[in-house]
Structure 1
Amino acid sequence: MEKLSVNDKEYNIIKLLGKGKGGYSYLATDGYHEYVLKQIHHEPCSYYQFGNKIEAESTDYKRLKSTGIRMPQLLCIDEKEERILKEYIDGPTIYDLVLLDQMQERYIEQVKEMCSLLYLNRLNIDYFPTNFVVKDNLIYYIDYECNNYMEEWNFENWGIKYWSKTAEFLEYVNNQK
C-alpha cells in the first residue's frame, strides 16, 4: 500500500478520489480515521492561471470558511511536500447523482443558499458538480478554490449548466471516455 506523509506523519493511500486543476486528491487513513490527502501538481492547465498553489489553498480556505458555507475542515498543510490534509466527507458527488438520474431539487436550492453567502462576500467557487458531495441530504463544497466574483462565472450563468443532463454536461461526460 502506498504511503504519503504530511508534516512527517504517514498516511496509507486507499484510492485516488480525483484529479483537479491543482492536484491529486486521495482517500487516506492513519489507521483510525479517513481523510482527503491532496498532493499539489504542476501540470499545465490551458484555461486557468495559478500562483502559489499551496498558499492559495490556505488563503482560499480562510476566505470560504468566513462565509459559512458547508465544507470540509482543513486539518494541516505541509508546505515543503505541497500536501494538504482535510476532513473526508463520504457521499456521492453531484456529478454522480446527475449521471445516475438521482439529482434532487433540494441540492439546487442548497447551492443557491451557498451562492447567497458567497455573493455577499463577492466570491465565486468552482461550481462544477464533482466539487460537491452529498451527505445526509446536505451538500458540501469539497474544493477550496474560490475567486473574486464575476457574473459570467457565477452559478446561474455557468455552474447550472453542469447540474443536470444538459448538452454541456453530456459533452463533458463523452470527453471523459
Structure 2
Amino acid sequence: MNTIKVNNREFNVIKLLGKGKGGYSYLVTDGRREYVVKQIHHEPCEYYQFGDKIQSEINDYKKLEAAEINIPKMLDVDKENERILKEYVDGDTIYDIVLKDEMKKQYVEQVKDMCSKLYALHMNIDYFPTNFIVNDDKLWYIDFECNDYMEEWNFENWGIKYWSKTPELLKYYNEHKE
C-alpha cells in the first residue's frame, strides 16, 4: 500500500506503525505533516468482543477527551472505509523504553495521574505499554479504547505487569519478536 485515503484526502504511507486487536495504524503524510491513519480490521480476537468498531472509536475518543488525559486529536473519520485520521505523536512507546532499560519513574507517575482521572469516571483504558508514547517526557495514550472500570483490568492489577521487565512482559516479547 503506497497511499491511503480518508474521505477525499489522499496520504502517502510511510510505514506500518503497528497492529492492534481493532486495526492497523499507519504513519502517513500529506507532504506537509505526518499523521496516523487507523484502518479498522475485522480479524477475530479470542479475548475481546467488538460491536461497531468505528463508532466505538468515536465514542471512546469523546470519553477520553472529556477525561482530559493526553491523547492525539481525532482529525477525521471515514465511516464508509472504516478509517480514522489522527494526530501523530512522535516518540518511543513505553514498551520500547522498558526493553531499552530507559524507564523513568515519572512515566509511571503520569499513568497513575491518568488513572485517577479515569477511575473517577469509572473507566479503564488498555494499559499495555505499546499504547503509550513518550514525547518530551510527556506521556500520551495513543489508543482510543476505553471500557467500564473493572478492578481486574486496572493499571495496578494488570497494566503494571507490563511496565517493567517482568516475566509477563518478557514472555510477550519472546512470543512477538520478529
Same fold (TM over 0.5): yes
Task: Give the TM-score of the pair, scaled to structure 2.
Answer: 0.98
* TM-score, length basis structure 1: 0.99
Q: Where does residue 145 of structure 1 map in the other structure?
A: 145
Q: State how far apart, in whole Å, the 1-side matches of 2:57 and 2:32 are.
A: 25
The answer to whether structure 1 residue 162 and structure 2 residue 175 are counterparts is no
Distance in 1, Cα, partners of 2:2 & 2:124: 35
* CA shift digits 1:113-149 (9 cap, x unpaired): 0000000110000000000000010100000000000
Residue of structure 2 in register with 1:80 after alignment: 80
* 3-state DSSP of counterpart to 1:66: helix
Alignment correspondent of 2:11: 11
Deviant stretches of 4+, over 6 Å: none
Q: Which residue of 1 aligns with 2:176?
A: 176
Quick one: percent identity of the two aligned structures?
Answer: 66
Partner amino acid, structure 2, of 1:141 = Y
CA offset at residue 110 of structure 1? 0.3
Q: Which residue of structure 1 lines up, in the alignment, with residue 70 of structure 2?
A: 70
Give 1:43-58 correspondences, 5 Å limit: 43-58=43-58
What are the residue-to-residue correspondences of 1:77-116 with 2, within 5 Å? 77-116=77-116
C-alpha distance in 2 between matches for 1:174 and 1:28: 29
| Distance across 2 between alignment mates of 1:78 and 1:121 | 29
SS at match of 2:67: coil
Aligned to 1:26: 26
Distance 2:125 2:146 in 1: 4
Consecutive unaligned residues in structure 1, runs of 5 or more: none
Q: Please tell me the root mean square deviation across aligned C-alpha atoms, in Å.
A: 0.6
Mapped partners of 1:84, 1:16: distance in 2: 15
Q: Measure the CA separation in 1 of the matches of 2:30 and 2:135.
A: 22
- Partner Cα distance (2:139, 2:123) in 1: 18
Once structures 1 and 2 are overlaid, which stretch shifts more, 96-105 or 1-10?
Answer: 1-10
Q: Alpha-carbon deviation of 1:46?
A: 0.4
Matched pairs, number = 177
1:8 shift after superposition: 1.3
Unaligned runs of 5+ in 2: none
Output the CA distance in 1 between the equivalents of 2:31 and 2:54.
26
